[in-house]
Amino acid sequence: MPIKMQPLEEPQLNLTPMLDVVFNLLIFFMVGTRFADLERQFDVQLPQVSTAQPLTSLPDEIVVNVFPDGRLVVNREELTAAQLRDRLMDARERYADQAVLIRGDGESSFQRIADVLAICQQAEVRNFSLATQLATE
């Protein structure tokens, strides 16, 4: 009895689902763009206010470096305690939640850091933190 040998079918890649997805995405973005254009065409009279402030990003935190000898450095500028208090008061007046980061030297006494904390309290700065680093063994 003869055995029928049929040639093997070569695999084919069906691109129909991929084309469907591409066309759906194309339609979605075309319709979305059209709605954005329609929204800009409305003639809206915006309300006017007298005390509006410009939208700005939050100010960076003020970094106070406390050295073992008692020097206080902010932005590479050495300050006295009175100058630091004045700078913090000015910053707090501009932005009520002004953040202050206190970086005290690990070898110095805690009294120097406590003095800076007292200056923050005098300037009515409530958002302050102490910088630390993980100990490596």
pLDDT tens figures, 17-60: 999 999 999 998 888 776 655 555 556 666 777 776 666 667 78
Domains belonging to the chain, first-starting first, are 62-130 (3.30.420.270)
pTM: 0.56
Q: What is the pLDDT of residue 38?
A: 54
Q: What is the pLDDT of residue 80?
A: 93
Q: What is the pLDDT of residue 16?
A: 92
Q: Where are the beta strands (DSSP E) in the chain?
A: 62-66, 72-74, 77-79, 99-104, 127-130
Using CA atoms, how far apart are residues 116 and 102, in angstroms rounded to an integer?
8
pLDDT tens figures, 78-137: 999 999 999 999 999 988 889 999 998 888 888 888 999 999 999 999 898 888 877 776
